[in-house]
Amino acid sequence: MHTCPKCKSKLEVQKTFNQKILFGCTHCKIEDVIDYNKNLDEAYLDFLLKFDTGQTPTKKESQNALEKEGLLQSEDKIKKMIGDSKIDDLTRSILFSKKHYVSHFKSIEESDPEMSSTVEDSGLDERIIEALKTKGISKFYKFQEDAIHDIVFGKNVIITAPTASGKTEAFVIPIMQKIVDSKAPRHSVHALFVYPTKSLARDQHPKIKGITDRLGLKTAVFDGDTKDTERREILDSPPEIIITNFDVLHYHLWHRTKFAALLNTVKFLAVDETHTYSGIFALTFIILSRG
pLDDT at 269: 94
Percent of the chain topping pLDDT 70: 96
Instruction: Give the pLDDT band (50/70/90) at residue 17.
Output: low
Rounded CA gap, 147 and 46, in Å?
59
Mean pLDDT taken over the chain: 87
CATH 3.40.50.300 residue ranges in the chain?
115-290
The CATH number assigned to the domain with range 115-290 reads: 3.40.50.300
Q: What is the pLDDT of residues 225-260, one digit of tens each?
A: 999 999 999 999 999 999 999 889 989 988 999 999
| pTM of the shown model | 0.65
Q: CA–CA distance from 46 to each of 65, 179, 256 (Å)?
A: 17, 69, 59
Would residue 199 be called left, alpha or beta, if left means φ above 0 and alpha means ψ between -120 and 50 degrees?
alpha
What's the order of all strands across the beta sheet hosting 191-194?
219-221, 241-244, 191-194, 268-271
SS3 of residue 31 by DSSP? strand
Class of residue 259 by CB neighbours under 10 A (exposed 0-12, middle 13-18, buried 19+)? buried
pLDDT at 240: 96
Per-residue DSSP letters for 216-265?
T--EEE-STT--HHHHHHHHHS--SEEEE-HHHHHHHHHHT-HHHHHGGG
Q: What is the pLDDT of residues 141-189, one digit of tens each?
A: 999 999 999 999 999 999 988 777 889 999 999 999 999 998 777 789 9
Nearest CA to 219 out of 198, 194, 195, 238 is that of: 238
Backbone angles phi, psi at 2, to 5 degrees: -95, 120
Rounded CA gap, 179 and 203, in Å?
23
Query: What's the average model confidence in pLDDT over 41-52?
Result: 90
Report which of residues 26 and 176 the model is more confident about: 176
Rounded CA gap, 226 and 217, in Å?
20
